Structure 1
């Protein structure tokens, strides 16, 4: 009702879960152009659009690095080396989908964090939580490393630190064509001159409310 009354030029869908497909179905029912709607990261996966199908055609969403990557080497390796041997634990048809890639990248970052920690604290040893945190805060995944793991074209290099847990601020936009996601933009990088002060203000307020003591730059070197 608010959309019909306000008649906006564009709509940012800040949604999650079933509210995304519901919003797209409502847009279809009311005639609001889906190509004038853009979703955030949590509103741009297959479950958000597949039940709407052609009714969601033209809808776009941010990807924060990866999208659906069925042609990537890491996906081909997963199909050839895992599923082809009957060792896959999930639906084969979902390999390479947006949510699958999200989990795959998360798993890779976790493994590389432990590997980095072992370089400092002992290769082959079981890492403690603090040691693993150090590893995750000192990742340096350059393009050569990503290519070697099969992530070429899937994501850009990531370098983290104690002061920067994100490590990368690049995004792409992908668009639903009625059956699948395809990239509709090149890479965009966020403007940290605008965002960083906002992050520091919000995190400082949170730390104060929760009575947390942020680590100092010297503590980050430990």
Structure 2
């Protein structure tokens, strides 16, 4: 899931298939009892796909493109935002994510999935090396972890992110927002808090900009004689 890939990170193996840090046994991990799944449209580099790495670790189930999923589905066609109100759906029916390229999202037949519980994610900032710092352009694992965190499964979110060396950065960048969203009641309140946060950030940025000193314009080196 990437757009305008930076040359400096183009050759990174985001899946981190060496996995020397992933030797913790399942007995020591808080594995979700609900299903976590994804539709893979084969548009991303498999070496850089967080969803595929999770699938290889049996932390995500791969779905066929036309296969239906009864649980919460993270999709751009969703009409509501993920909220704590969705906890029962997650617990009983699971979470699924669409794995496709941000650059090709308009041409991807996502609408054909027709999920019963389609959801959007609120404003969050990506921490993955491809889209670091970009609003809303999350990788599969970030999207899944954000949903887990907001719906009350913080330990599961940390587990999934722990499979990536950069995973902890997602929580560090978004912890304030994630805690705010997790403290909401429903989709409408999540949207209100999101808009409030964005408005406050914009005001602060404007304030910081106005606080900068005014530097005089450089004088012309040409002098009349």
Same fold at TM > 0.5: no
Q: Normalising by structure 2, what TM-score? A: 0.24
Larger relative contact order (CA 8 Å, sep ≥ 6): 2
Structure holding more helix per residue: 1
